[in-house]
Structure 1
């Protein structure tokens, strides 16, 4: 425990971590003030070295494999909360600083997403059965940041708020042609077709999501207004009055940002504009955490705003509007994690114990990243000309109120 103790003494400044090693010895770190108290048991001696060398990845893999467990009612969320309130102490350790320097040197390799690899990377996360996602997503099947009127608003209502908020910013009229890059489970496309009367070309590289999207569009009665295609964004052609991309840019990779924004510009018809909604960081450019990179979103990267704007500058796009959603994704993921935990036994029966623990670690980690870390969500309106987007922001609020009234009328029973 000598090396691991050296790290944990510097790391745990808030709260308290008790470690029970494979020999049954107990080691206590921290005073217990200003943070949670967690007791973790390490089930083999090798884990001590692994945790010292790469604690973020080793802790996740050990929990997934059952080599790291918790006592006294603790959970992996408690451990990650302890990490979250002590993250500066971990980052200041010389070994961890060297590790992060190595990650930064390799980040373009980690984020390489040529067309074939992008499809494989997407499949590793999104091509799980729709029934799995249906267990813990809400009825809209939206798998991106919702838009809350208040923190405890029902998740489905908050996701519909997001659809309405996006539609309002797009300034849609019936008959418009809209391209959606990265269409998920089809919720936004269905909303835009049904509530705004537009025709949507929705692209995705996940066959599982596309099949479910087509089914949901049939149920909603808008299948004839939506063309769901299995196409990479680089291969989409044609011109559209509007382009929208929700939760897609995080999968592009920093080396491909220019290709992404260039394709958006090329898809826009004269006078058209685009909305991009993505996770970003308020801190300088960095890397993707090793657990997320290896198991959850291979090829993914959350960009700094400086990287985003550098690319829009190079690709000659006007950033006509920007909004930062700071806590909305925290509230979204908190709801997902609670719903996941409530259906945990069903998830385990469907997907297995190791997968369930992996997803538990993932949801806990990203929830806390939006609470205590540097992550947030941004929405951009982009255009080729300076006045394609209305020059006063009032149009968004006027549109949103009109959509709210229209949605209320359409939701009333006949």
Structure 2
């Protein structure tokens, strides 16, 4: 009875603050509508589930859905919008619901375990909802009307053009995924490439794809930590990897990149960033949910910390491009693919993991669209080079 009385008060509070397209159905047959046209239905199977709802942080709501404490029906984009509005209208973005800066312990063992948790779900799982080249990073919609496949190839070409990759040059791709970038670099740009990953599944499939393309003499895929790479490379790319590095480890990460880069080389870091100046996580418990269920030990720096860490490590920033709009669209397409192919995905993974990824992909699209997170491509070179070695303008990137 205690929780039911609290629920009545909470319902009145929410109705007063916002007209949400939400219907609430309880285990005892009671029903509450929060507008005349509800599109999202939250089903509460038992009274013990109510605390998740009455403190509707994104972490609480997400946890309740993933663990089966709440069932939710409706379009996934509307589900995310309703959940975010509930959190925003009923919670203050301070304290544990604010943009907390988390300094997480990192070491090789923990980093390797985190990578395997996220990327070794199964190759078939990712193949269902990614593009045909299995590129799991922000696409580049030059005109806004490209297909996902077209936009992913444009992203790779955009990166390789920015770093001025030329035939015969050596390229290191840190966090190479399933090998799409190194394949393109070898096939179209004539480079000799090394791709590294900590994911055994990615390593196996990328190696097979290289063999099938007849590029084994020009591309090597290694199961290797970036801290263990030796030698020098004319060009270095890191796409969607440094989110796993850690805030305190950024200077060491960029120092390692500098040590591996040729004196006249160029490097590109493409990664997600926080929009909080103190590198805080996404508000209302969104970061807590992702850390718990999706990216263990992940940390997002603000772009200012990225640039500061690069400079401290002896790298000069040459160009910075914000692709936030592009990632909102990319994640939106992934989320749509996920919904449209739900039967195939449920056959590949259990219900718990299905629910995690369902809300994660749609939630990421919302976060990028609403400036909770951003993403930047940062082009750099070794500090101290003569000005004559630098390009006059950005025109070459689009020629």
Tell me whether the two structures share a fold, i.e. TM-score over 0.5.
yes
> Under a length normalisation based on structure 1, what TM-score does the superposition of the two structures give?
0.86
> What are the within-5 Å matches in structure 2 for residues 77-226 of structure 1?
77-85=77-85, 88-92=88-92, 97-100=94-97, 104=100, 107-109=102-104, 112-226=105-219
Question: 2:326 corresponds to which residue?
Answer: 328
Could you tell me which residue of structure 1 aligns to residue 20 of structure 2?
Answer: 15
Cα shift readout 1:267-301 (whole Å, capped 9, x = no counterpart)? 11111121011112333221261211011111112
Matched, 1:392 2:393: yes
Q: How far has the Cα of 1:7 moved from its partner?
A: 6.1
Instruction: Give the structure 2 partner of residue 38 of structure 1.
Output: 40
Q: Measure, in 2, the Cα distance between the counterparts of 1:14 and 1:376.
A: 29
How far apart, CA to CA, are the structure 2 residues paired with 1:279 and 1:37?
32
TM-score, normalising length: structure 2: 0.89
Alignment of 1:361-400 (within 5 A): 361-385=359-383, 386=385, 387=387, 388-398=389-399
Equivalenced residues, count = 386
Structure 1 residue 6: deviation in Å? 5.9
Distance 1:306 1:91 in 2: 28
C-alpha deviation, 1:397, in angstroms: 2.1
Structure 1 equivalent of residue 235 of structure 2: 242
SS at match of 1:108: coil
Deviation digits for residues 28-62 of structure 1 (CA, Å, limit 9, x no counterpart): 44x579xx743211112122113344632232232
Which residue matches 2:280? 286
| SS of aligned partner of 2:29 | coil
CA distance in 1, matches of 2:71, 2:115: 30
The one-character-per-residue Cα deviations of 1:106-158 (angstroms, maximum 9, x if unpaired) are: x113xx22111100000001012211111111111100000113434211111
Q: Is the 8 A contact 2:66 2:356 kept in 1?
A: yes
SS at 2:80's partner residue? helix
State the SS of the aligned residue for 1:145.
Answer: coil
Aligned equivalent of 2:52: 50
Structure 1 unaligned runs (5+)?
A: 399-414
Give, in whole Å, the separation in 1 of the partners of 2:257 and 2:306.
14
Work out whether residues 177 and 241 of structure 1, in 8 Å CA contact, stay in contact via their aligned partners in 2.
yes
The CA deviation at 1:19 is 2.2
Counterpart Cα distance in 2 of 1:207 and 1:176: 27
Q: Deviations over 1:176-209 (max 9, x none)?
A: 1111111011000100011111111111100100
- Find the aligned partners of 1:231 and 1:292 in 2 and give their Cα distance: 25
What secondary structure, in the 3-state scheme, does the structure 2 residue paired with 1:327 have? helix
Contact 1:201/1:226 (8 A) holds in 2: yes
SS in 1 for 2:217: helix
Alignment of 1:332-371 (within 5 A): 332-371=330-369
Q: Is the 8 A contact 2:266 2:379 kept in 1?
A: yes
Paired with 1:10 and 1:314, the residues of 2 have a C-alpha distance of: 48
List aligned pairs for 1:229-268, cutoff 5 A.
229-268=222-261
The change in CA–CA distance for 1:165 and 1:57 in structure 2 (over 3 A counts) is: same
Task: State the 1:229 CA deviation.
Answer: 1.0
Separation in structure 2 between the aligned mates of residue 184 and residue 118 of structure 1, nearest angstrom: 15
Alpha-carbon shift at residue 314 of structure 1 (Å): 2.2
Distance 1:32 1:384 in 2: 60
Aligned to 2:71: 69
Give, in whole Å, the separation in 2 of the partners of 1:391 and 1:2: 68
CA-atom RMSD, angstroms? 2.3
- Taking a change above 3 Å as real, the CA distance of residues 357 and 172 of structure 1, as seen in their structure-2 partners, is same
In 2, the alpha carbon distance for the partners of 1:314 and 1:80 equals 39
Measured in 2, the distance between the counterparts of 1:244 and 1:134 equals: 23
Q: Which runs of 5+ in 2 are unaligned?
A: none
Rounded to whole Å, the distance in 2 between the matches of 1:5 and 1:16 is 18
Select the structure that is richer in helix.
1
